[in-house]
Amino acid sequence: MSTKPTPRIRVPGNAKAGEIIEIKTLISHEMESGQRKDQAGKTIPRKIIHGFTAAFNGKVFFEATWHPAISANPYQSFFFKAQESGEFTFAWKDDDGSVYEAKAKLAVG
């Protein structure tokens, strides 16, 4: 595990009221399954992103639970109906208790 998990998001900055927008998220993470062994033959501890949430203005509107079979650098895409301006908060939860967050603003007009 040599790289720090890095979240990336793609959210339109502007939308019309009632417009359906696509949100794309990805987190760079090696997703260690806990089944591999290191060079000394010791099991490498499991470390995966197991939860993802998306909230708008503090209200969660999308949740996902991921399991060890999820690929490295998990990608998640979903849709949102824009009705008001505000801020998205995206959170990825790691097995070690870490939470990685990213935010984006949306202007509706």
pLDDT-derived band at 1, boundaries 50, 70, 90? very low
The confidence score (pLDDT) of residue 35 equals 85
Residue 77: what residue type?
S
Beta strands in the chain (DSSP E): 6-10, 14-15, 20-28, 49-56, 59-65, 75-81, 86-94, 99-108
What residue spans define the domains of the chain?
A: 6-108
Instruction: Give the separation between CA 48 and CA 95, rounded to whole angstroms.
Output: 6
**Model's pTM, two decimal places?**
0.88
Whole-number percent of the chain with pLDDT over 70? 98
Over residues 21-65, the pLDDT tens digits come to: 999 999 999 888 888 899 999 998 888 999 999 999 999 999 999
Q: What is the mean pLDDT of the chain?
A: 93
Over residues 56-97, the pLDDT tens digits come to: 999 999 999 998 778 889 999 999 999 999 999 999 999 989
The confidence score (pLDDT) of residue 99 equals 96
| Range 6-108: architecture per CATH | Sandwich (2.60)
